[in-house]
Amino acid sequence: MNGRWGGRLGVGLLVAAVLLPVLPLVVWSAAGTWRYPDVVPGRLTRRGLDLVLDGEVVSATATSLLIAVTVAALACAIGLSAGRAIGLYRFRGRRLVQFLLLAPVIVPGLAVTLGIQVFFVRYGLADTVLGVVLVQLMPTVPYAATLLGAAYANLDVDYERQARTLGSGPLRTFLTVTVPLLRPALVTTALLTFLISWSEYILTLLIGGGQVTTLPLLLFAAIGSADRTAAAALGLLVVLPPVLIVLLVARRLRGRDDAWMGLARG
């Protein structure tokens, strides 16, 4: 039938459009020489791999991981607390709070960070990992609070009450009942905030002042240099963890439209 072939053509075009830009990245990462008109490289090299295993890159990877894990953990903790208030309580000013938590999603972080950098300098937080972690809470906490707020809103509090009547204390109830019930949302939130932090460039640059070297900073420098193989290898190193994570949890994320709002900003 005509429609079926049209559909197949459409699907083919879609897959090509999504994957075509990634193809040169993958090829360049292993290309030793790739002269202009050639469609395939003349010689392959393992220079890209060596570069990725180089001390500077390894330490930047460690820094990136440290920052992203810390940011994700803090954002989840703050989001759990705020989400409970948003999801379970009706209080005056609730809409204002929701608006405030949404504003950082809409107003660009660059504009805000240019303004606030003087604070970080003044309080000795500029050029430190702690400063970078703190500034990255700005784009992550709103998502965490909103996602976990939605999860809390769907939570049946009677489970907690039941646990309390069975003799469980508040903290124990939280850990053994609430957290397991919120687990799917928590996992999503943790991954999302991790990915936002892992991809962040400009906030890290402004507050880290070049002293806190994360992978995106190295990648940016490599893109600026003429070494396409190095840039492509670093690019792959930056892109693989997020893509792998998404592939692993793809089914869990399917349909959670709000969760994707954050990723788009990566």
Partner 1 sequence: MSQPVVSTGPTTRQHAVRRGVPERLRPLLLLSPALLVVGVFFVGGVAQAVLQSLGRQPFLGQTDWSFDAYRATFADPAFRASLTLTLRVVVLSTGLATVLGVAVALLVRRHARGPLTTLLQSTLAVPHLVGALCIGLLLSPSGFASRLGTGAGLVDGPQDFPVLTNDAFGWGIIAEYTWKEAPFVAVVALASMTPHVRDLEGAARVLGAGRWRRFTSVTLPLIAPPVAAASVLVASFAAASYEVPRLLGQSFPATLPVVALQRYQDTDLLVRPQAMAVATIIAVLSLVLVAAYLTLVSRLSRRSL
Span of 24-32, 43-51, 65-73, 180-188 interacting with partner 1 by CB under 8 A: 24-32
Which of 65/85 has CB closer to partner 1?
85
Instruction: Identify the residue among 60, 141, 182, 230 touching partner 1 (CB under 8 A).
Output: 141
Instruction: Identify the residue among 49, 66, 73, 116 touching partner 1 (CB under 8 A).
Output: 116
Which of 55/111 has CB closer to partner 1?
111
The whole-angstrom separation of Cα 222 and Cα 47 is: 14
Instruction: Identify the residue among 68, 72, 132, 137 touching partner 1 (CB under 8 A).
Output: 137
Burial of 263 (0-12, 13-18, 19+ CB in 10 A): middle
Q: Nearest distance from residue 117's CB to partner 1, in Å?
A: 8
By CB under 8 A, residue 143 contacts partner 1: no
Q: How many residues bind partner 1 (CB under 8 A)?
A: 104
- Give the Cβ contact number of residue 47 at 10 Å: 16
Cβ atoms 97, 86 nearer than 8 A: yes
Q: Nearest distance from residue 190's CB to partner 1, in Å?
A: 14
Q: Nearest distance from residue 137's CB to partner 1, in Å?
A: 5
Task: Render 127-177 in DSSP notation, one character per residue.
Answer: TSHHHHHHHHHHHHHHHHHHHHHHHHHTS-THHHHHHHHTT--HHHHIIII
Cβ atoms 199, 242 nearer than 8 A: yes
Residues 223-262 that bind partner 1 (CB under 8 A): 223-224, 228, 231-232, 235, 238-239, 242-243, 245-247, 250, 253-257, 260-261
Residues 33-62 that bind partner 1 (CB under 8 A): 36-39
Residues 161-200 that bind partner 1 (CB under 8 A): 161, 164, 169-171, 173-174, 178, 195, 198-199
Q: Nearest distance from residue 184's CB to partner 1, in Å?
A: 16
Instruction: Identify the residue among 76, 133, 151, 219 touching partner 1 (CB under 8 A).
Output: 219
Q: Nearest distance from residue 48's CB to partner 1, in Å?
A: 13
Identify the bridge partners of residue 112 per DSSP, sorted by sequence position: none
Q: Nearest distance from residue 128's CB to partner 1, in Å?
A: 15
Residues 66-105 that bind partner 1 (CB under 8 A): 77-79, 81-82, 84-86, 88-91, 94, 97, 100-101, 103-105
The whole-angstrom separation of Cα 258 and Cα 266 is: 15
By CB under 8 A, residue 16 contacts partner 1: no
Span of 43-51, 58-66, 118-126, 181-189 interacting with partner 1 by CB under 8 A: 118-126
